[in-house]
Structure 1
Amino acid sequence: MTTDTREPIRDLQRALERLGHSPGPVDGLWGPRTARALKSLLAANGRAAILSTPEPLPWIAEAKTALGRHELRDRSWLMAWLKRDGRSLGDPAKNPWCGDFVETCIRVALPDEPLLGALGSNPYWARNWLLFGQEVSPIPGAVLVFARGSGGHVGFAMGQDGTHFHVLGGNQSDAVTVARSRSPDPRRALARDRPTRIETLPQMKPGGFLTSTNEA
């Protein structure tokens, strides 16, 4: 049995090439060119050109490629990773980069997803992600926006326990981690998502992850 997790996407990329919809390099990585090629194929065959995301969710798959990277130890690597969508806030060791992390994941995995208004002009400000998609009950992969005084924190929902969300995000204790996080007030974090999925957020045990330090 193969353990190469990229092979299913390589198979898709090879098929797209054979059908005349170039996905770019056949590298097993889900990126903007592969997404556009699949959308083009669906449209050419008379189907609505709405891209159904493969499993795992492509923006979560992108996020996990940076899991464990630290803003000091992996500074150069992170700076290059955060620029893959064509822009970046800058040095993660000097800037609050949780919004930059979320934008990179969304832009690379969902190149046609609209980021409107203030979110489009400044996706680095965590609270601007309140403009993303639509409000939903927390589901796996949804964008979670937390209040942090006058600032905020943003990441992706992975699960929850009795008191905290389990969040995959950047700038969590200065690194890309899955960590327990909650708002400092009684309100739950606001979840935002694309209006295409109906799921429930899994329950997780509190002891599995450290509670994060989220920088505004």
Structure 2
Amino acid sequence: MTSKSVENIKQIQHALARKGYNPGPVDGVWGRLTEAAVRHFQADHGLVADGVVGPKTSVVLLGNEMAVAPSDDPSIPWFQEARRLVGVREVVGPGNEPKIIDWAKKAGIDYRDDDIPWCGLFVAHCVSSTLSGELLPGNPLGARNWLKFGAPCSPMLGSILVFWRGKIDGWKGHVGFYAGEDKDAFHVLGGNQGNSVSIVRIARDRLLEARWPASAPVCVTEKVELAAGDSFFSTNEA
């Protein structure tokens, strides 16, 4: 999943810095300093101070609306953070991947061992590190708890997809981000998929619900239709 989102975020950070708003390091990572700088800029320019660079903010900040592919859209920063982390892998056996443990520390989640399923932790990190005002569900490590997050929506780019695992009326689940779909499956960008942050195909009939952050404007997009290729369905994401 080739991404130009890092370059897009750097462009936003450069523009903020030039105008006297501190976005933190100009590194292409959408962190809380960048979000806060966007909010201050928006408030100073009569825009909705939601910390999201949508079309209106883009025009005032950059002088034009950013022409980006839907998957690179900076107005879904939690999804861009997820894409940036593709390839992060847990340590099999003794020891832990420091990045995964650090996500928990920064989000205030009690998590000390990456042998414990971390799909919910991954989603919590991506949301909390880019949307400072967004409330996480109680016990975000529990995948099905994300059914109480934000607001329901149609499956669309960047939306949070909650799936059942094991059996539909059980307690096990999986959670990740919509990256696309084919006629049989959703393509899900998530953590703890093959012990890593990756994109897998999950059968449509396993979807419980799609959710959208309450503090972010809904970016209604067309379906992202992808080829199924030769990949098999993911059947156990723990």
TM-score w.r.t. length of structure 1: 0.83
Are residue 139 (structure 1) and residue 152 (structure 2) matched? no
Residue 203 of structure 1 aligns to which amino acid in structure 2? E
Contact 1:59 1:109 in 2 (8 A): yes
Deviation track 1:113-167 (CA, whole Å, cap 9, x = no partner) reads: 233xxx1x31111111112221111101100001123211000011111221110
Q: State how many pairs are aligned.
A: 208
| Aligned match for 1:179, one of 188, 200, 203 | 200
- Corresponding residue for residue 68 of structure 1: 87
Which structure 2 residue ranges, 5 or more long, are not aligned?
Answer: 55-72
Q: 1:21 to 1:178 in 2, by over 3 A?
A: same
Residue pairs, 1:1-216, within 5 angstroms: 6-53=6-53, 55-56=73-74, 57-72=76-91, 75-83=96-104, 85-91=106-112, 93-115=114-136, 119=137, 121-148=138-165, 149-182=170-203, 186=205, 188-194=207-213, 195-207=217-229, 209-215=231-237
Which structure 1 residue ranges, 5 or more long, are not aligned?
Answer: none
% identity of equivalent residues: 39
Contact 1:78 1:92 in 2 (8 A): no
Deviation track 1:171-191 (CA, whole Å, cap 9, x = no partner) reads: 1121111000136xx464311
Deviation track 1:74-120 (CA, whole Å, cap 9, x = no partner) reads: 942433552473434534532110000000001112122233xxx1x
Q: 1:59 to 1:100 in 2, by over 3 A?
A: same
**Whole-Å Cα distance in 1 between the matches of residues 232 and 129 of structure 2?**
28
**Whole-Å Cα distance in 1 between the matches of residues 145 and 4 of structure 2?**
37
**Whole-Å Cα distance in 1 between the matches of residues 178 and 6 of structure 2?**
24
Alpha-carbon shift at residue 10 of structure 1 (Å) = 3.2
**Whole-Å Cα distance in 2 between the matches of residues 134 and 98 of structure 1?**
19
Contact 1:72 1:93 in 2 (8 A): yes
**Whole-Å Cα distance in 2 between the matches of residues 187 and 83 of structure 1?**
27
TM-score w.r.t. length of structure 2: 0.76
**Whole-Å Cα distance in 1 between the matches of residues 230 and 103 of structure 2?**
27
**Whole-Å Cα distance in 1 between the matches of residues 189 and 9 of structure 2?**
23
Q: CA RMSD in A?
A: 2.7
Contact 1:82 1:101 in 2 (8 A): yes
Residue 52 of structure 2 aligns to which amino acid in structure 1? S
